[in-house]
Structure 1
Amino acid sequence: MCRWLAYSGEAIKPSLLVLDAQHSLVAQSLNSPLGAETVNGDGFGFGWYPEGSKAGSTPALFHSIEPAWNDENLRELTESIASPLFFGHVRAAGGPPIQRTNCHPFRHDNWMFMHNGFLGGFREMKRDLTFAVDPSLYPDILGTTDSEVLFHLALTLGLKDDPIGAMAKTVRMVEEVGEKHGVKFPMQGTLALSDGATLWAFRYSTARRSRSLYHSVALPEMREMYPEAAQLAQFGDKAKVVVSEPLNDLPGAFVEVGESTVAILSDEGYHHEPFLDDGE
């Protein structure tokens, strides 16, 4: 459906990953070997927490309905700023129209969210799911995607206090509503979520056949594996990236996130936890 990346670590120019990497996000928008669609040209989005911003700061967003490979502003922006945490998303529209309000990432206060995948049977489930959003959040749904509804459901169900628990409740609600409407496999996707300090990356589908998801190994470890890789000098020891597809062909540089798993990345490192893998 789409491709995305999320970076956390020392502040860098986002163009290093969005544009310049061997298999950058823009390169994946043109050719996505592991994606459901090879080309992801139905708009894009970029969201970032500015360098030096305080905890709880609202991220900035840039959305466009242009293909990412054809937008000069994306290069200008990502080469001109530095950010310690940013999201990038290239879209392959699966039904909702191509418009800026349907481009990821989405934000609420200091939170950002993006999704690769879909809610099966969303047309049948849309009314029930949308009406389950808290009335105070409902006016903030500006587009028509299932992803934006998913985000606002998670906010409704306690995202700010318990991100993993809220996402679990949200997915279970989607599956329960789907069952009610005769939808066999209602949830599919990989999800990225951040409050500006921690990054959560979820991989889950009702059918247990989720979209691909990887994250980089620790930079000190990568430098030991590839001491001659000059490009690694551009990143600090805390640099971490979560991606739909690896950004290079270096063996061992990226680790696949398992099915029904959440990867949690912060300045302290990263670890994996099971996510809805035992019928809870």
Structure 2
Amino acid sequence: MPGPGAHTMYALGVGVGLMRLSRGRFGPHHCLFYAANAFLGPDLGSFAEWLGSFASSSASLGSLSMDLVHHPFYYPLLLGLPLSFFYARLSAALLRHGILDPASNVPLNKMQCFILLSAGSLSHFFLDHLFEENGHSTMYTWILSTGWWKSRAPVNPDAVIVVGVLCTCLFAGFVYINRLKTGESIIKRSDQSLRLILFIAALYCIWCASQIYWRNPPQPAIGEEADLGVVIFMSLYFFLPHCLCLLSMNQRDHPETADQLPF
């Protein structure tokens, strides 16, 4: 299972990259609270279970805390509100006492803290699901199960046609949206491209699920490829937390870097 070092370095590395690319809109306060929740956040349940192990009367309570808090979604739902208030006050105190530069001259608000807390929780389990239990975690086993078959999985013609059409639509749609002389801003085109990707991804997942779970007898969706599990896992635990980090950014550039390129 990944330890504190791996969680912290992964989250801080992502945070520093976003801080650089965003020109300070994702600042040191963002990095600190995102990394803190990726490192310690859901492991508060593990810590409570460890404390409960020293007293037999508290063992069941510690185990319950582990089950409830050490979870990618229960952690922000149960502790998100009080911790968001705490982080917002801490951000203001760090700024007021000159301990940590926020790069925007304003502390984080409660909503930003809640978003960063949720992003940190998901990033925590991005590593946990991949590298705990010697690769036999429930999530990782499910990912592989969407593409593994006891015998050699055939590549069915209907799968080739459906996947080929979807991938062709994705490439063609992207080129069409970003064609020359559209007159639209890059922001609008990027939003349209994102909606296209999400639409094709939804159709792709529906196709895979229909072949694996709804068809009787089931058949491989795309040969031995575990695309359904990979797409869902990466969407929830990789892209979503990074999107949440972007959502938590401040609205204005840091004045010292507003006229500089991000590289």
Task: Give the alignment's TM-score, normalised by structure 1.
Answer: 0.23
Q: Which protein has greater RCO, CA pairs closer than 8 Å, 6+ apart? A: 2
Q: Higher helix share goes to which structure?
A: 2
Q: Higher strand share goes to which structure?
A: 1
Task: Give the alignment's TM-score, normalised by structure 2.
Answer: 0.24
